[in-house]
Structure 1
């Protein structure tokens, strides 16, 4: 398939596909008449690349993700720890915003319910 068709199927701009090729995150496509031609499995590879980006992986980490198992496993463990901490931080932010929306106190720090909530955030899980 052409790069335009691949871009259409994946919702990823052709410029991003070419960028990933330059950075060796996508295998080089075959050429026919000077045009890139992609196999059907390129769609899956691009979906994977998008998910890796959404997970916060850098280009180097995405490259490593596609490499051998021992190096990949160490990188994934590190990234999982970062994601888990981010989930805790986002949960606390959600609690803060949800409480602030319904709290009647002018200064949320004067709210005993919120103070108790903040204290629980400092406790190890």
Structure 2
């Protein structure tokens, strides 16, 4: 008698995708990035341990709060025997990420507050453009939209 799917010790890639809400292509990507692992059957099909679902939940939550995949991978690698994160692991890791997230929040608040000074024209050389030209550093390179100009192109356009 075949075991019910929920009782199986291993899951197929389709089952993991369905249960986690993550596309199969994303699972393959996570595996290439070393975030999750699978074993291959004799027919070269991927099989995932059931605890992979918890690792994927950890990855998704970490991404949602803005943690880059490289930092998530480092966090997962720091766990003994690459086991599934526990509540205690999450508490420890999230404490370590807190200052990084606080710095990003401060940066985003500054950008939001400075956005009203930007007229959004795209010239990228406004004297007061704190978003794309802080302290008018590009004025030292000459007049005009410095970031949009390709060396020598402005001369050819006038010809």
**Fold equivalence (TM over 0.5):** yes
Structure 1 segments of 4+ aligned residues over 3 angstroms from their partners: 72-75, 82-86
Q: Which structure: greater helix fraction?
A: 1
After TM superposition, the score normalised by the length of structure 1 is: 0.58
Long gaps (5+) in structure 2: 1-10, 80-92, 114-159
Q: Are the counterparts in 1 of residues 39 and 48 from structure 2 also a CA contact under 8 Å? A: yes
After TM superposition, the score normalised by the length of structure 2 is: 0.47
Q: RCO higher in 1 or 2 (8 Å CA, sep ≥ 6)? A: 1
CA shift for structure 1 position 20: 0.7
C-alpha separation in 2, matches of 1:61 and 1:74: 13
CA shift for structure 1 position 52: 0.9
C-alpha separation in 1, matches of 2:48 and 2:69: 21
C-alpha separation in 2, matches of 1:34 and 1:7: 18
Q: Which has the larger radius of gyration?
A: 2
CA RMSD of aligned residues (A): 2.8
Instruction: Count residues in correspondence.
Output: 88
